[in-house]
Chains A and B, each alone.
Chain A
């Protein structure tokens, strides 16, 4: 089973700042199968990035994903009030399709 670790657990930032979220896999994996999801309080998750770097439909370009092998990053270039939420990475290449524990981006 591929174990995903996310850091930091919580990121406290102000609107307009840059957010950098990390997702590390326990073994090397194809970047084609790494996704990021956003979950706002009381809502279902939403796909924002697939294939490590491809924005989902309707996702603004301030969101970007990079990475390969075991290290992946989600960057939000300039935080807007709507971006303060939980973010989870997931690998969907090898069953079980595991999630990371999440990073909470909250308002400083």
Chain B
């Protein structure tokens, strides 16, 4: 069974750093991209970017480029989304998800990680 299990909710202050994780199991990790999707409170889905775990190639939405970093650790089949300096506007649920490659839809989603940024 394909599973993407995300780290738990976190509360941070503006300016702090954060890394959230997404542990994949039940499939060949390097065969599928991991993508991250943001959902702000009461809002829609926003595609942030993706990584190819086979070579760590990343592709970011212009809306998120430079503010977040996506990475993987193949040895533990885990993907990460990190911020070096959080803003209050980063408060959202973040989903990791997998897609086979370009031209394939997202076919499996993590449970989401709620990040709250508040002073």
Contacts and interface: CB of A to CB of B under 8 A. Distances in A.
Interface stretch (B24-32, B67-75, B79-87, B101-109): B101-109
A63 interface: no
Given A35-B106, A47-B105, A96-B62, A90 B112 contact: no
B110 interface: yes
A87 to B, nearest CB: 11
Q: How large is the interface on B (under 10, 10 to 19, 20 to 34, 35 or more residues)?
A: 20 to 34
Interface residues of A, number: 25
Interface string A35-76: 101010000111100110000100000000000000000000
Closest 7 CB pairs of A and B: A96-B61, A35-B105, A44-B109, A50-B105, A99-B45, A102-B44, A101-B44
Given A44-B111, A45-B106, A92-B104, 7 more contacts: A1-B62, A33-B103, A45-B37, A45-B45, A47-B106, A96-B47, A102-B44
